[in-house]
Amino acid sequence: MGNRKDTIALNENTEITGIDSLCRNSIDLIRYARGLVVQHINIIELMTYYALGKWIIEVQQAGNDRAKYGDRVIDRLSEALTGEFGRGYSRETLRNARKFYQVYQERISQTLFMEFVGQKSQTLFGELKKENPFKLSWSHYLILMRAKSPEERDFYEIEAADGNWSVRTLQRQYGSSLYERLLLSTDKDKVKELAEKGHIIEKSQDVVKDPLVLEFLGLQEKPEYSETELETRIINHLQEFLMEMGKGFTFVDRQKRFTFDEDSYIVDLVLYNRLLRCFVLLDLKIGKLKHQDLGQMQMYVNYYDRYEKTDEENPTIGILLCSDKNDSMVELTLPKDANIYASKYELYLPDKKLLQKKLKQWLEEEGADIG
């Protein structure tokens, strides 16, 4: 009986020693990190959270009851760090640090990690900056860690870094299910590339999203609105609209009028995509798309190809933005090589779970693989 009590006491003392060591090491590391020059703040902050997460897991794994012991580890460390440094190291922050390490543990080699927490060499930061294992801020990664799959997470990280997205922009793009919408708008051969390289613009189909989400226009509460009002709202929120359209878009004109054989026609919006080097014409439609609308857009595209674009530019793209459409009708009406697309717009953020379910069904039907 005595031996059992001694064993229990030994286990408890070992656990306490492990937590005490964790607290001391963490305090030393944070003191060191706070003394670094400002230009290293971002990478040092991320490496610090990475280290805290790693140490939490290592100490946590020594416990008998991991779930209960894990809470105990975080509670004790939070108290120690808050007592030493004040605010900034809440239980929630440390849980996020633990998750950060779990998600991104392959980013940092053990050798580099030991140089950071052990040697604390100034030359290390040049190496970290060169390798650039974390290109975004801690606030960005808090959003990225919400993603359910590594593929989705990697996509948003690539896009945010390439596009220099603010935290607010990343939050909006994630909330609008950009990843799922792009996957549903592409073909199965592009699925894996999207997850690994981000959104690559190489051909006209790559600029099409279905649906296009325009919740920033603030029209969802209005029971009725006109095409003119929709266009005006877009112009008033042009920056957000171009961001939603995607990479490489610039604004050219609105209500562009051209005359052909004494008849006048008007294109609602004219954009230009500098990546594809072509005009992009948009027509806005309230209600269900009709086949006559597709024919009219074909005429607009033909006009621009013959009279507006230069020989060095690529063929014009036509996009009809509508609140409802019949995909079968669109496919039957347009020639297979048409540079015209129909895309629904939505005035509210989509249900992410519903889109994920739809995406899963599509992937199964197409036999596509993103893993």
What residues have CB less than 8 Å from 257, skipping those under 6 apart?
264, 265, 266
Range(s) of the domain holding residue 238: 212-349
pTM here is 0.80
CATH value at residue 251: 3.40.1350.10
> Could you give the number of structural domains in the chain?
3
Is the pLDDT higher at 178 or at 41? Answer: 178
How does residue 37 score in pLDDT terms, banded at 50, 70 and 90? low
Average pLDDT (146-175) is: 93
Listed residues 101, 134, 167: the one ending a domain: 134
Average pLDDT estimate for 212-231 = 88
Q: Are residues 51 and 71 in the same domain?
A: yes
Please check whether residues 187 and 263 belong to one and the same domain. Answer: no
Judge whether residue 353 has pLDDT over 90.
no
Residue 36 in this model has a pLDDT that exceeds 70: no
Tell me if 366 is assigned to some domain.
yes
| Average confidence score pLDDT of the chain | 86
Average confidence (pLDDT) over 309-332: 94
Q: At residue 292, does pLDDT exceed 90? A: yes
Mean pLDDT of the region 90-111: 93
Q: Are 187 and 301 part of one and the same domain? A: no
Q: Which of 174-183, 224-233, 268-277 has the highest mean pLDDT?
A: 268-277
Contact 169, 243 (CB under 8 A): yes
pLDDT band with cut points at 50, 70 and 90 for residue 35 = low
